[in-house]
Amino acid sequence: MTEVAFHFNVSDKLAYACRLLRKAYGAGKPVGVVAPPPMLKDLDAALWSFSALDFIPHCVASAPADMLASTPIVLAPDCAALPPHARVLVHLGADVPDGFEHFERLIELVSADDDDRAKARRRWRHYANQGYAIAQYDLATHKET
């Protein structure tokens, strides 16, 4: 069963996602990221510029098949567009991502914004009602790394 984790009170979703993806890449974990297209565009740009010392290989889901097969981090508007080798799913969107159950792990990033938190609560209830155990990490009580 998919492991579900919520990271709450993320002050900057894009910056946090970059750090999370850097960590996943360093651990050798293939990752899919789903988000609305404008956010994916911003994340793509952020991954190229967030650190002068780190290269985080990534591509968008519309890349050629050979690139998708060899790239550890793929950005997509939905799970159906992600390659089968992605084992971890990072979700930056508002609704439960269709197909999340095909991943070993789902990480939900939630800001302190009231609307974002309300949508996260709906997703939490969905996962809980489906029997998923949910881990939570409140970044307000821990320093973001």
Task: Return d(Cα 29, Cα 88) in angstroms, integer.
Answer: 7
Tell me if 40 is assigned to some domain: yes
Mean per-residue pLDDT for 135-142?
92
- Full domain range(s) for residue 95: 3-138
pTM for the whole structure: 0.95
Mean per-residue pLDDT for 40-46?
97
Residue 142, pLDDT score:
74
Number of structural domains (the chain) is 1
List the Cα angle 47/50/51 in 5-degree steps: 110
The answer to whether residues 79 and 22 touch, using CB atoms and an 8 Å cutoff, is: no
- Whether residue 115 has pLDDT greater than 90: yes
Mean per-residue pLDDT for 28-48?
96
- Give the closest residue to 105 by CA, choosing from 22, 24, 15, 16: 24
Identify the CATH number of the domain in which residue 108 sits. 3.40.50.10110
Residue 81: band (very low, low, confident or very high) from pLDDT cuts 50, 70, 90: very high
AA letter at 64? P
Mean per-residue pLDDT for 125-131?
98
